[in-house]
Amino acid sequence: MKLTTVSSLDEIAEADWNALVDSDNPFIQYDFLHALEKHDCLDPWGWQSNHIAVYQDDTLVGASPAYIKTNSYGEFVFDWAWADAYQRNNIDYYPKLVIAVPFTPAYGKRLLTRNGSDEASIRELLIRGTGAIAEKQNLSSAHWLFCTKHEQAELANANMLLRSDIQFHWHNNHYENFDHFLSCLNSKKRKNIRQERNKVLNAGIKVSLIPGDELNEEQWHTLYDFYRITFMKKSGTPTLSLEFFQAMRHRLLAIMAHHENRTVAGAICFTGDNTLYGRHWGCYQNYHSLHFEVCYYAGIQYCIEHNLQRFEPGAQGEHKLARGFMPTRTYSAHWIQHEGFREAIGQHLNHEANAIDDYYQQLMASQPYRCE
């Protein structure tokens, strides 16, 4: 088997890449990653494609979506303190290598293999080869972000440093409708959700869910305006272009809120075969509980009606727990070239892991369900 790198997905056929990936995760599929490259969403923000590919003869049997980074924006596994420590010691932390999906805090496979191949050997080669590539390209480190639990275990066997965090995901426990879901919550949480939904309804707001393929030009520009407004409030220039979202229309679900014949808020979601992913939200005007309706409750109802099994509404947000989203661990692994910093970061991650474990137990003790 031969391991190599490619600077663009144009160098790999779409069918060959997609033969390695899970159809439930839209973010790891060729069209999503290629659209980021094609519509200028990467280079301006410090993401340089450096995908890792494994070939057996002329057949692509393994790959990892990889990028050389000159900053830590858009990763959601925060290592700014590491970069600052390097800088204080006059050592370059950037560039580094990131094996991840840009701007997307959703877990999924990072060690991609073709079914029917020697998958264990290919994953081992991808792990070993990634470190060798980072050394050869004089990169400070390599980071597998939002990998699967199984992949993290394999990376641990290769002596990578391990890291964990917590998100909040909703799971469909065979709910027949939204009221059935509510009936499984404790009374306080159930009452609160009903009050929040009623406040939106009593304000005269109607919510519609529109597949990306059905959005008209005006709706596209309104939806993108919501994304742009929120991004401008938080961190400046939007990283994803309207053309990128339109290229992904077949995987996109728009949740739009309307008041007095005007669209006042909206959320951008992506759909997998079994999962709904909430990604971006924005509004022209604040209404009580509207964020919860558009970003959480409408998505839960959509999952129930379309028999989707999971709803990932994005990173962070402990307030999601009271609305039915359960704490869920996320995983990453890290290769640090500098021996001294590898030891120091490892010690830091051990302490962090204990804190994450304690936090997870606290959250589980406060879980909102009365029945499972």
pTM, two decimal places: 0.96
pLDDT digits (tens, 9 = 90+) for 41-54: 999 999 999 999 99
Cα(20)–Cα(241) distance, integer angstroms: 27
DSSP run (H or E) holding 162:
strand 161-171
Q: Which residues are 329's β-sheet partners?
A: 166
Q: Cα Rg for the chain, rounded, in angstroms?
A: 21
CA distance 147 to 100: 8
By the 10 Å C-beta count (0-12 exposed, 13-18 middle, 19+ buried), 22 is classed as middle
Residues 67, 48 contacting (CB under 8 angstroms): yes
Contacts of 8 (CB under 8 A, 6+ apart): 37, 49
Q: What is the pLDDT confidence band of residue 371, given thresholds at 50, 70 and 90?
A: low
Q: What is the pLDDT of residues 253-308, one digit of tens each?
A: 999 999 999 999 999 999 999 999 999 999 998 899 999 999 999 999 999 999 99
Strands laid side by side in the 262-271 sheet: 47-49, 66-69, 96-99, 141-147, 326-336, 161-171, 310-312, 275-283, 262-271, 252-259, 205-211
- Give the pLDDT confidence of 98-120 residue by residue, as tens digits: 999 999 999 999 999 999 889 99
Sign of CA dihedral 232, 105, 298, 287: negative
The amino acid present at 125, given as its one-letter code, is L
3-state secondary structure (DSSP) of residue 153 = helix
Confidence of residue 125 (pLDDT cuts 50, 70, 90): very high
CATH class, domain 173-308, is alpha beta
Please provide the average confidence, as pLDDT, over all residues in the chain. 96
**Are 66 and 97 a contacting pair, CB within 8 Å?**
yes
Give which of 105, 200, 173 is closest to 367, Cα–Cα. 173
Q: Domain 2-166+328-365 belongs to what topology?
A: Aminopeptidase (3.40.630)
Q: Is the four-CA dihedral 25, 312, 46, 98 of positive or negative sign?
A: negative
| Largest CA-CA distance found in the chain, in angstroms, rounded | 64
Q: Using one digit for the tens of pLDDT, what is the confidence trace for 174-226?
A: 999 999 999 999 999 999 999 999 999 999 999 999 999 999 999 999 999 99
Contact by Cβ (8 Å): 331, 145: no
3-state helix, strand, coil in the chain (%, to 5): 45, 25, 30
Residues 244, 36: Cα–Cα separation, whole Å:
7
Could you tell me where in the chain the CATH 3.40.630.30 domains are found? 2-166+328-365, 173-308
